[in-house]
Structure 1
Amino acid sequence: MDIAAKLSALPNAVPLPGVPDAWEWSPAPGFVLLAALSSDRRHAFRLNTKDSYDAEMCRAVLDFVREREDEVIGRPEPLIALTGFSWAGREFDAVGRVRPEAHRLFPKDPGLNEVVFGVFPGYSVEISGAESVDQAAERYGRMLRSSDMNREPSPYVLVRFDNPKTGAGTIGEQPVFISPDYLVHELRLLEGVEGAYLQLWNHRNEQWDVRWDGLWRVTCGELQLAMSAGEISAWGAEVIR
């Protein structure tokens, strides 16, 4: 497949200044999309922006990805964070990478889609590296707002919980992603409820178990913590960062 020919033929595609074998195009107002070839020209790396295009930073992301392309292409995890990226004026500390099986960047061209890796500036607290394909697709496609170059972190918060008092909870054994604000909200509602529990996984793949028996009982492996009623919200904010 001639990936360069396909990318350069996209509507409005033009060479990306300062980056060889790379193109940018705008399919609609506010959107600027970019793609760069790998060194072997058998793969490409795509970066999407919406209402936040920063040409210099985007070029830096693509350069960073090319420097780490063996990891980008070779690692099997659907979603990873490549730490070590930074940009003045923003707090990004990583570049996220999503494999072709977890995105639909070129849904009308399956052959091209299979050789394109999605990349974006991100935060190490957002990605565990243990995401399944479906979880990676959910994080990249719905939760991370990866096309917003000005966004704040969206920490990885995966939970399974049940609150017999309110009836809220996850269904079955499958944990779900929630926002940090919703985590704090549910922890407050669990306080004082007999039989309630919450299990939390963070980006470090730590599993925390939380229960109330007059105090908060929080465990992670052999670590056991006891907290009073006013301490759980601060703990929840800390453990996901």
Structure 2
Amino acid sequence: MKKLVVAIDGHSSCGKSTTAKLVAKDLGYAYIDTGAMYRAVTLYFLEHYIDFTNPKKIDQALQEIHITFERNTKSNRNEVFLNGLNVEDEIRKMYISNKVSEVSCIPAVRHAMVSQQQKMGRKRGVVMDGRDIGTTVFPDAEVKVFMTADVDTRARRRQQELLDKGELVPLDDIIANLQKRDLIDSTRKESPLVRAEDAEILDTSHITIDEQVDFVLHQVSAKLLEQELAKRK
């Protein structure tokens, strides 16, 4: 059976990553968290004092950045490695969240990351989540879902994620961060956060993770059935 590309786009803290991971596991597909790639670049830029407005320094830095995903056998999850160092926990911290949208809107950064993502998904059989998967990275993805949720729900979820990792952040600060990121992501010139015309909308404000996963799997099943029927004609 032909393997598909499943593109899951949407706003921050809608449950994209959790849903995408579970969908990939159910399908036996690879999972790629593209947001983590931009977070890793942000971490590198901050640690090396890269000026976000200096194209020469940015281009030089991008040549030194190598991002990989490796399976943690204990937690059974893919974790992000930056130049051989596990940065999975560090890139999820609030100080990275405060800067990642600024970094991800830099054209050179987007071009570099999109190129890597396209290589990762070239063989199909992949679930990718991010902001521009269905519009820029894989506009030919067979299944596209655009996830959203109201900002208060997203903020509470994000606050709980941070608490689980020992970081206490006021809810108002998280709401402000999400609103800022939404504005930057949706108004940037390079690959803005927009719903692809053929993407199904999934509002996760009042549904469970299981319901989110079922929704995406239903889209996949429908597409596979459609392809099978087309082959029989």
* TM-score normalised by L of structure 1: 0.25
Q: Which has the higher helix share?
A: 2
* TM-score normalised by L of structure 2: 0.26
Q: Which has the larger radius of gyration?
A: 1
